[in-house]
Amino acid sequence: MTAPADLTVVENEAAQARFDDLIAQDSRIEPRDWMPDAYRKTLIRQISQHAHSEIIGMQPESNWISRAPSLKRKAILLAKVQDEAGHGLYLYSAAQTLGIGREEMMQQLIEGRARYSSIFNYTTPTWADMGAIGWLVDGAAICNQVPLCRASYGPYGRAMVRICKEESFHQRQGFEILLELMQGTEAQREMAQDAVNRWYWPSLMMFGPPDDESPNSAQSMAWNIKRFSNDDLRQRFVGMLVPQAEVLGVTLPDPNLAWNEERQAYDMSEIDWTEFHEVLAGRGPANAERLRRRREAHEEGAWVREAAAEYARKQALKQQSAA
């Protein structure tokens, strides 16, 4: 890693100027480049939180793998959950290029010192939740993530390109689940609508607090990590949802949702941010359960990791003595 302490003041100024220059040109910062400490810290936090979200995000859906309504749906769900694991791994690798270790990040997560997207602290009581998660949660994620493909930190942007390619399958399969339910029996339609009612607001909260309460946004935008504000992305997402909801035949649970001709955007109700802060503070429906399961999986897998490392060590020794 670059050690800023070793640089003289003059060298530091030159390095900062070069960094500023690259950002001004909308170029990319690569792992070996000098970067301000705050930029490095912001990225480590953002990328590792993002990775944790993917890893924890496997849980609400894994709940339905054994109960999927058909073999086809089970195979699709398995592939999707495997993708989430993959996305977590791409992102951990990207974060590591900034100087944090994989094991350190794992520890932060299982000890409850790291955050992940609060959306995964909601439970998935019905099959329709698989549809609503794909359509709304993955939809919001895509909306957030597409601009991140152009994030100024090279490894992050490259990881996001891979992730976005894979996410579009996730959203479409969710839409399809809901569409099939909406074309089914009355009970199935109710199940689909109920899931949409429960996931709509939490998915809008995924974009983060309103712009005037998002203190780090301006700096992230100045560094070209973030390209659009939380409220802009949220607005864009709602604009995409409305016609999709019409195709599905579901109602979005906001009585004040209406097209505003003057603003050329949708008006909507105020978001209940107390709920958001409660879930963020660890008091959501499944916070404790998610962490407990993650910790268990980590601990129960310890013997596999140790055995594999020991096998590799012995094989290497054998090869050495044979040579």
Partner 1 sequence: MSTPGETGTEAWPLWEVFVRANRGLSHVHVGSLHAPDADMAVRNARDLYTRRNEGVSIWVVPADAVTTSDPDAKGAFFESPAGKNYRHAVYYTKSEGVKHL
Q: Least distance from C-beta 37 to partner 1, angstroms?
A: 16
Rg, C-alpha atoms of the chain? 22
> For partner 1, which residue of 277, 283, 292, 305 counts as binding (CB under 8 A)?
305
Question: 3-class SS at 105?
Answer: helix
97 binds partner 1 (CB under 8 A): yes
Q: What CA–CA distance (Å, rounded) separates 117 from 109? A: 12
Which 269-288 residues touch partner 1, going by CB under 8 A? none
Q: What angle do CA 226, 232, 234 make, to 5 degrees?
A: 100
Distance of CA 302 to the CA centre of its chain: 26
Does 17 help bind partner 1 (rule: CB under 8 A)? no
Q: Which stretch binds partner 1 (CB under 8 A): 25-33, 128-136, 139-147, 242-250?
A: 25-33
Q: Is 219 among the residues that bind partner 1 (CB under 8 A)?
A: no
- For position 301 contacting partner 1 by CB under 8 A, the verdict is no
Q: What is the DSSP string of 74-86?
A: HHHHHHHHHHHHH
18 near partner 1, rule: CB under 8 A = yes
Which residues neighbour 283 within 8 Å (Cβ) at sequence distance 6 or greater? none
Q: Which member of 17, 258, 312, 317 binds partner 1 (CB under 8 A)? A: 312
Q: How far is the CB of 284 from partner 1 (least distance, A)?
A: 30
82 binding partner 1? (CB under 8 A): yes
Distance CA 191, CA 129 (A): 9
Query: Please, which residues bridge with residue 258 across strands?
Result: 267
Told to check if 62 binds partner 1 by CB under 8 A, we report no
Nearer CB in complex with partner 1: 211/299 = 299
Distance spanning both ends of the chain, measured CA to CA: 35
Binding segment for partner 1 (CB under 8 A), chosen from 159-167, 241-249, 257-265, 274-282, is 159-167
Say whether residue 308 binds partner 1 (CB under 8 A). Answer: yes
By CB under 8 A, residue 75 contacts partner 1: no
Among residues 299, 306, 317, 318, the one that binds partner 1 under rule CB under 8 A = 306
Helix (H, G, I), strand (E, B) or coil at 310: helix
Which window, 56-64, 84-92, 120-128, 218-226, contacts partner 1 (CB under 8 A)? 84-92
Closest distance of CB 86 from partner 1, Å: 5
Residues paired with 265 in a beta bridge: 260
Determine, following the binding rule CB under 8 A, whether residue 166 of this chain makes contact with partner 1: yes
Amino acid letter at 21? Answer: D
Instruction: Report the b/e string of 226-258 with b at 16+ CB within 10 A.
Output: bbbbbbebbbbbbeebeebbeebebebebeebe
Burial status of residue 120 (CB atoms within 10 A of its CB: 0-12, 13-18, 19 or more): buried
Give the binding site for partner 1 (CB under 8 A).
1-2, 18, 31-33, 79, 82-83, 86, 89-90, 93, 96-99, 101-103, 158-159, 162, 166, 305-306, 308-309, 311-312, 315-316
